[in-house]
């Protein structure tokens, strides 16, 4: 029998199901909340302000760029300054956090490029991934190949040979 939430004292996970889309957004979205800081940096960048003026006067002068509520976008992505101090934080968020999963260059770049753009972005992402110590130590190409498997000699008596498998 259905009971309204406040009356149902024994509610469990099944009776409180969330919308799947809402959960996937919570799990797969970055957690940085530096929006106001980024907008302030953009407002102080002379190059971006010049592009905003050009696009506002004549949108055809800068193809791909658009201005919405005073904010510059390139192909629908927020444009930030290439000298922004937030870039290392963004790179870390999209690469080194559990959401980023220490993905390689291409996956990190695609996730980041879906939302944000700055001049030299590919180079920045490539250098960040190359400099990631964890990735360099654990990537497949950096690990040494397994040794050549050789059969063990057949022992002649009981307890003549003892083998142990170490699992690390």
Distance spanning both ends of the chain, measured CA to CA: 52
**pLDDT of the residue at 15:** 57
Q: Residues 26-82: pLDDT tens digits?
A: 445 454 556 677 778 888 888 888 888 888 888 888 888 888 888 888 888 888 888
Q: Residues 121-165: pLDDT tens digits?
A: 999 999 999 898 888 887 766 566 777 888 888 889 998 888 888
pTM above 0.75, yes or no: no
- Identify whether 91 is part of a domain: yes
**pLDDT of the residue at 141:** 66
Whether the Cβ atoms of residue 127 and residue 140 lie closer than 8 Å to each other = no
Helix axes 121-131 and 105-113, enclosed angle (nearest 10): 140
- Identify whether 107 is part of a domain: yes
- Identify whether 77 is part of a domain: yes
Give the domain CATH number at 93.
Answer: 1.10.340.70
Is the pLDDT at 105 greater than 90? The verdict is no
Residue of higher predicted confidence among 28 and 100: 100
**pLDDT of the residue at 143:** 60
**pLDDT of the residue at 69:** 82
Total domain count for the chain?
A: 1
- Identify whether 56 is part of a domain: yes
Q: How far apart are CA 136 and CA 140, in angstroms?
A: 9
Domain boundaries, position 96: 31-139
Q: How far apart are CA 116 and CA 77, in angstroms?
A: 5
């Amino acid at each position: 029998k259905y009971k309204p939430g406040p009356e149902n004292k024994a509610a469990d996970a099944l009776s409180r199901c969330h919308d799947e889309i809402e959960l996937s957004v919570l799990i797969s979205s970055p957690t940085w909340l530096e929006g106001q800081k980024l907008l302030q940096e953009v407002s102080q960048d002379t190059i971006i302000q010049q592009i905003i003026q050009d696009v506002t006067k004549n949108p055809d002068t800068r193809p791909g760029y658009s201005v919405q509520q005073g904010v510059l976008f390139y192909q629908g992505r927020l444009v930030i300054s290439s000298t922004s101090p937030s870039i290392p934080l963004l790179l870390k968020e999209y690469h080194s956090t559990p959401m980023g999963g220490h993905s390689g260059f291409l996956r990190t770049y695609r996730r980041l490029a879906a939302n944000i753009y700055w001049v030299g972005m590919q180079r920045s992402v490539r250098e960040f991934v190359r400099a990631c110590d964890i990735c360099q130590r654990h990537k497949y190409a950096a690990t040494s190949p397994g040794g050549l498997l050789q059969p063990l000699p057949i022992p002649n008596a009981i307890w003549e040979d003892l083998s142990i498998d170490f699992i690390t």
